[in-house]
Structures are given as C-alpha cells and as structure tokens.
C-alpha cells in the first residue's frame, strides 16, 4: 500500500510540475511580446521628443515660449497665450493674432505625424 501512495503522490507532483512549467513558458512568451511592444513605444516616444525638440530649436521668442507652454508644459492654449503676453508685455490679442496661428499649425503638424506613425505601427 505504501508503494501505491508513493506512486500516486509522485504522479501528482509530476503533473503539477508540468503545469507549472507550462505556466512559466506562457509567462515567458507574454513577457517577450510585452517587451517588444514596449520597445516599439519607446522608439515612437523618442521620435516624438526629437521632433518637439527640433521645433523648439526652430522657433524664437514669443512663438518658442508659446509652443513650450502648450506642447511641453501641457497648458491650456488660452492660459498659455495670456501668460506669454504678460511675460512679454504685449496684449494677448497680439499674441493671438500674430503668433498663435503659427504655433497651432506646428502643433497640428506634429500631431498628424505622430498619428500617422501610430496608425502604421498598429498594422
């Protein structure tokens, strides 16, 4: 009887070990897929940061400050315009009229590029 119990226990342990090994293999596969996806996202974010940095280098003065406050700081456009106008001693209507259109176009261009890249990567 002792041999039979030992056989049953050994068989149960063997089954549990096999299940655990299968679970480890599944986890390893999942982690590899997740790592690959994270590497793709990392590259995308690196490209986006490089584009934003390039735009910041192109712009000067009020346009640069406005772009920085909207794109980098994430401020509301109206609040950013008001603060930039106050910092530069100009009327906010001047900032709206002369600078916000150009910054808005740059932000839309940047958004379109990132949207196109994200759609291409999803395919």
In tens, the pLDDT along 42-53 reads: 998 898 888 888
Structure confidence at residue 97 (pLDDT): 83
pLDDT, one tens digit per residue, over 21-33 is 999 999 999 999 9
Which residues make Cβ contacts (< 8 Å) with residue 94, sequence separation at least 6? 85
pLDDT, one tens digit per residue, over 62-106 is 888 888 888 888 888 889 889 999 988 888 888 888 887 888 888
Q: What are phi and psi of 44, to 5 degrees?
A: -60, -45
The total of other beta-carbon atoms located within 10 Å of residue 98's CB is: 12
Phi-psi sector, 74: left (phi>0), alpha (psi -120 to 50), beta: left
pTM beyond 0.85, yes or no: no
What is the distance between the alpha carbons of residues 32 and 26, in angstroms, rounded to a whole number? 10
């Amino acid at each position: 009887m002792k041999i039979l119990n030992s056989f049953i226990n050994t068989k149960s342990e063997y089954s549990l070990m096999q299940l655990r090994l299968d679970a480890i293999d599944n986890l390893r596969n999942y982690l590899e897929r997740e790592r690959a996806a994270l590497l793709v996202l990392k590259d995308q974010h690196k490209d986006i940061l490089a584009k934003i940095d390039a735009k910041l280098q192109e712009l000067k003065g009020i346009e640069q400050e406005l772009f920085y406050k909207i794109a980098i700081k994430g401020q509301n456009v109206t609040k950013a315009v008001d603060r930039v106008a106050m910092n530069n001693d100009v009327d906010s209507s001047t900032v709206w009229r002369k600078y916000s259109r150009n910054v808005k176009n740059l932000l839309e261009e940047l958004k379109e590029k990132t949207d196109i890249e994200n759609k291409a990567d999803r395919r």
